Structure 1
Amino acid sequence: MTLLAPPRRRRIIQSSDLSRHAKDVFAAAEQEPLEVTRRDGAPLVLTTKARSDDDDAVLDIAAELIAAVTVNEHLPLHERLAIPYPWIAMLSRDDQRQFAREIVEVARGSFALRQPRKLLLEMQAWRNSAEAIAAGWAAAEPELLQEPVVVEKP
C-alpha cells in the first residue's frame, strides 16, 4: 500500500485582512504560503518570489529526472542524466553513478515529504563539486603547514 503525501495545509486569510493588515499579512507570507480567500473569485496563494522560484526549479528538476528515467532505457541512468546536466561529466564514473542514485532517492523523499528545498540543495551540492573539480581543486594535494599559525582573537 502506497501512502500519499498529506494534503498541504495552509494558513487561510480573508482578502479583507490583506487590505486592512497588509504589513502583517506580508510578514506572515514571508514565513509560509498563505491562502487568500475571496468572495468574488477562486482563492489565491500568497508567497515569496524566492519560494515560487524554488518551486519552479524543483519542477524543472522533476521533469528532467522523469525524462531521464523513462527514455533511452538501454543507457545507464548516470549517462541519461548527463544530457540535461552535462556538468556531471566532471565527476568520476563512480561519483556519476552515486549522483544518479542519490538525486533520484532525494527527489522521491523530498516530494513525499513536501520538502522540495532538500532536492535543490542536493542538486546544488553536486554541481558545486563538479565546478570545484573542473577548476582543479581536486588535482593537487593540499599543502600542510609544518607549524601552526597563531592568530589574534577577533
Structure 2
Amino acid sequence: MPITADRPNRTRRSSDLSKHSAEVFAEAENHPVTVTRRDGEALVLMSQREADGRARLLEFAAQLITVAIEDHGTLAERMAKAFPWMLALSPADRESCAQDLVDAARASFSTEQPHLALAELTSWKETATALAAGLGSTDLEWLDDNETVERP
C-alpha cells in the first residue's frame, strides 16, 4: 500500500478557492492540494518549489534509469558518466556516492518526498566541487576541547 493512503485528505472544492482562498493557498504552500470541480477534471494546486522539486526528481530518475540499463562497468563508473562531477571524488567516495544516491532516490520515490534524493545529490555534488577546488587538501588545525576562543 502506498504511503499516500496514510496521509490526510488534501482535497478542496473549487468553491473553496473563492470563499476561502487564503486558507487554500496557505495549505498549498505546505503540500499539494487537489481541487475538485463539478464541470471538469480535478486540478492540483502546489507551490512552485514543490513543482520544481518534482521536475528535478523526474530528471534525476531519468538519469538513474539510463545508468541502470547500461551494462558496462560498475555502478560508480556508470554514475560518473551521468554525473561527471563524481570524477572529483576518490574511487571509494564514488562507490559511496553512487550507492547513497540510489538509496536516496528509492526513499524519495517510495515516500513521495523529492527533497530526500535532491538533498543527497546536492550534498555529494557540493562535496565534489569543494574537493575539485582544493578545499579537501588543507590540513585542519583542531582546537582542544578545553580551549576557548575570544570573540572578535
8 Å contact kept, 1:5–1:114 = no
Give distance in 1, aligned partners of 2:134 and 2:81: 23
Task: Tell me what 2:2 maps to.
Answer: 5
Query: What is the Cα deviation at residue 109 of structure 1?
Result: 2.1
- 1:82 aligns with 80
Counterpart of 1:118 in structure 2 is: 116
Give 1:69 shift.
Answer: 0.9
Alpha-carbon distance in structure 1 between the residues aligned to 2:44 and 2:69: 33
Corresponding residue number in structure 1 for 2:40: 41
Q: How many residues are treated as equivalent by the alignment?
A: 148
Give the C-alpha shift of residue 6 in structure 1: 3.6
The alpha carbon displacement at 1:148 in A equals 4.0
Query: 1:136 maps to what in 2?
Result: 134
Gapped regions of structure 2 (runs ≥ 5) = none
Q: Which runs of 5+ in 1 are unaligned?
A: none
Match of 1:149?
149
> Scaled by the length of structure 1, what TM-score is found?
0.88
Tell me which residue corresponds to 1:59. Answer: 58
The answer to whether residue 16 in structure 2 is matched with residue 22 in structure 1 is no
1:127 alignment partner AA: K
CA distance in 2, matches of 1:94, 1:12: 47
Q: CA deviation at 1:145?
A: 5.9
User: Aligned-pair distance for 1:118?
Assistant: 0.6
Q: Deviations over 1:42-91 (max 9, x none)?
A: 000000000000000001111100110112x1211111111221100000
Alignment of structure 1 residues 88-127 onto 2, 5 Å: 88-127=86-125
- Offset at 1:22? 1.3
15-24 vs 117-126, greater mean Cα deviation:
15-24
Give the deviation of 1:144 after TM superposition: 4.5
AA of the residue aligned to 1:66: I
1:119-138 deviation line (CA, Å, top 9, x unaligned): 11111110110011011110
Letter paired with 2:31: E
- 1:98-132 Cα distance to aligned partner (Å, 9 max, x none): 11111111211221122221111111110110011
Report if the CA contact (8 A) 2:72-2:78 is conserved.
no
Distance in 1, Cα, partners of 2:11 & 2:124? 37
TM-score, length-scaled by structure 2? 0.89
